[in-house]
Amino acid sequence: MGKKLEGNGLWESSRMMLPEHKQRILEEQREILRREPPVLDDQKREEMERTLTLSLREHVRVTLVLFDSYEDVRLSGFVTSIHAHSREIKLQWADEWRWIGLDCIIEVYPG
């Protein structure tokens, strides 16, 4: 029995990790890495809204940077609708589209 405690002093079988434990460790690490959304000033918001309106009126492709707790998401397409009352835009690319809340957008630029 003493041979099992040689080396690092742990039982050989204790080196195994159950999948449930591994998943929980990954979830805890993701929680630590979670970010807070940036605070955008009024001037930045107005600039982004002008670019979105330009895309809608002139059919200019825009790239949006959407905030996510872990990693920002980039989408590129054309604004086909703006709903001021629900603060959403409809972004379309190829044969797909998606409604996006204005509060999720942290950057907009042409292209």
What is the pLDDT, as a whole number, of residue 5? Answer: 57
Q: What is the pLDDT of residues 8-24, one digit of tens each?
A: 555 555 556 778 878 88
Quick: pLDDT tens for 64-106.
Answer: 999 988 789 999 999 999 998 999 999 999 999 999 999 999 9
Task: Delimit the domains of the chain by residue range.
Answer: 42-110
30-61: pLDDT as tens digits: 777 778 888 999 999 999 999 999 999 999 99
Q: What fold is seen in the domain 42-110?
A: SH3 type barrels. (2.30.30)
Hey, what amino acid is at 107? E
- 88, 102, 107, 92: which is closest to 47 by C-alpha? 107
Residues with Cβ within 8 Å of residue 64, at least 6 apart in sequence: 74, 75, 76, 91, 100, 105, 107, 108
pLDDT of residue 4: 56
pTM: 0.68
Model pLDDT, residue 9? 58
